[in-house]
Amino acid sequence: MHFVHLASLKDLQTRKLICVKTDTYRILLALAEGKVYAVDDMCTHEDASLSKGSLHGDCVKCPLHGSRFRLASGEALDEPAEEALNTYDVRIEGDAILVGIPE
C-alpha cells in the first residue's frame, strides 16, 4: 500500500462528500463527525456515485435507492445493497488528505 495525496481538508470542509480518482480507483472522501473517511465511491448495489448521496451521522446514504453504509467499516446497513464497500486508510498531514492505495 502507498499513500497518495488526493485532496485537501479545505476541499472537504465545504462539501463533506467528494469523489476523487486515481488511475484505478474512484474513492469517496467523507467528513463525518469530525473525521475523514475513504471508501469506494460506487454503491455495491448498482451504478450510483455515493458522493451524490448524503451524510447521516457516521454513514453515507446512496442517492439512488437509499441504502446506508457505515463509513468506518463499509458495512451496508439497509437493503437493497448487501455487500460492504471497500475502505481505505486515511492519513492527515497538515491540510493534505492522503489515502492508502493497495499496490
| Residues making contact with ligand FES (CB under 6 A) | 43, 45-46, 48, 62, 64-65, 67, 80-81
CA–CA separation, 64 vs 62, rounded Å?
Answer: 6
Taking the complex as a whole, how short is the minimal distance between the CB of residue 46 and ligand FES, in angstroms? 4
Closer to ligand FES by CB, 9 or 73: give it.
73
- Least Å distance between CB 79 and ligand FES? 8
CA distance 68 to 57: 11
CB of 42 to ligand FES, least distance (A): 9
> In the chain, what are the helix, strand and coil shares in percent, each to the nearest 5?
10, 50, 45
